[in-house]
Structure 1
């Protein structure tokens, strides 16, 4: 398995990484919260082992940021913070398991392996495809028929939501909530404007349209027939 270990105690990091490495796992390590979060968001891992007390960004904040970015990599907190409320707080922040220091390495290995078995069903897609339209969520690129499309961040988010819901009619309210995080009607044509701009890039240069308006209902994205 590919494992990310985020631990600022050099001796502990060496011990854990060495043990997991001897068991055949491939390890990346980080000694601070910001470095760990950057690795977690830009590379693919089967499991993450994270200390709670980290310089620059604590473990709780790191995991919350990870979940907010929709990265579902299984996380094991490995920490000396041992109270019941602390464990509950860690799990509610988005961790999948919690192991308190000092620990038996055999238990750590068993927990990591258990999370690794869970990983394939949890791992987030990194490439979305609808027909010849392809979106790379890591590189933040979009192509159609091999041609690169230059999308603004909000256009990218709008298209991502449409691609994840291909074939489904998406109402204006759904788009406002999921793309703009509006839970009220701003009484503007922000949705219509962005859909029009997206169409100009996704559809108009090509022979067949993929984004259609369903009159009185919303919008739907499908591969060309």
Structure 2
């Protein structure tokens, strides 16, 4: 990626307690044209977010005070909406799902290539530039207000995690149309930090919450993907 592709004033925050990793990431991202802040602890990261409002945070999970998961939890509770990419040596499926469920946007495992980090940063920032849909998305008795981020089924509020919300929104936008595993992975995670197993887990979460209030609407197309079917259609 050339520096000309980075919008002027794009601010990143890199959080890692390993000086060598912190230095190479900051240097490389600055070379690409980003304005880059840095922090070595979770509490310092929270302060840096408040003071500098970065457009994206690259966040190590294993930090000396509070871990990266707790940092994201506190950011989201405080209303911070900037995208977060985890950088970590922890690569279990439980950790990946847990991090994404807290509201992280991507998950890169160590060791990583700088080109991969740059590509993931670019993809997540580009995804954030997409304009939200206007108005109400509806399928059968499921309604999503894209302005207030409220989801209801049969008039009953449905509490979704950020990743579940993004997944349902994409299914609603393409209701009655089969979406392949690859299409969902690319749209929700830009192929970063997730695989077919993670997607299957989130589909299961979504089904559990929606199906508790009415007939199942998400159908599996074995070996292909999923479809949100309006039960009034053939």
Q: Give me the TM-score of the superposition, normalised by structure 1.
A: 0.52
Match in the other structure for 1:110: 119
Spell out the pairing of 1:43-62 with structure 2 (5 A cutoff).
Answer: 43-62=52-71
Match of 1:81 among 67, 73, 90: 90
Supply the distance in 1 between the matched residues of 2:75 and 2:85 (Cα, whole angstroms).
Answer: 13
Match in the other structure for 1:19: 28
Deviation at 1:80, TM superposition (A): 0.5
Secondary structure of 2:45's match? helix
RMSD, aligned CA = 1.8
- Greater radius of gyration (CA): 1
Match of 1:101 among 98, 110, 132: 110
Deviation at 1:119, TM superposition (A): 3.4
User: Which sections of structure 1, spanning at least 5 residues, go unmatched?
Assistant: 123-163, 166-225
Match in the other structure for 1:65: 74
Deviation at 1:43, TM superposition (A): 2.2
Judge conservation of contact 1:5–1:17 (CA < 8 Å) in 2. Answer: yes
Judge conservation of contact 1:78–1:99 (CA < 8 Å) in 2. Answer: yes
Give a deviation string over 1:162-208, Cα, whole Å, max 9, x none: xx99xxxxxxxxxxxxxxxxxxxxxxxxxxxxxxxxxxxxxxxxxxx
Supply the distance in 1 between the matched residues of 2:130 and 2:51 (Cα, whole angstroms).
Answer: 20
| Total equivalences in the alignment | 124
Secondary structure of 1:29's match? strand
User: Which sections of structure 2, spanning at least 5 residues, go unmatched?
Assistant: 1-9, 132-146, 149-234
Give a deviation string over 1:103-133, Cα, whole Å, max 9, x none: 11111100001112233469xxxxxxxxxxx
Supply the distance in 1 between the matched residues of 2:82 and 2:96 (Cα, whole angstroms).
Answer: 19
Q: Give me the TM-score of the superposition, normalised by structure 2.
A: 0.50
Q: CA distance change for structure 1 residues 56 and 67 in 2, over 3 Å: closer, same or farther?
A: same
Match in the other structure for 2:168: none
Match of 1:42 among 45, 51, 55: 51
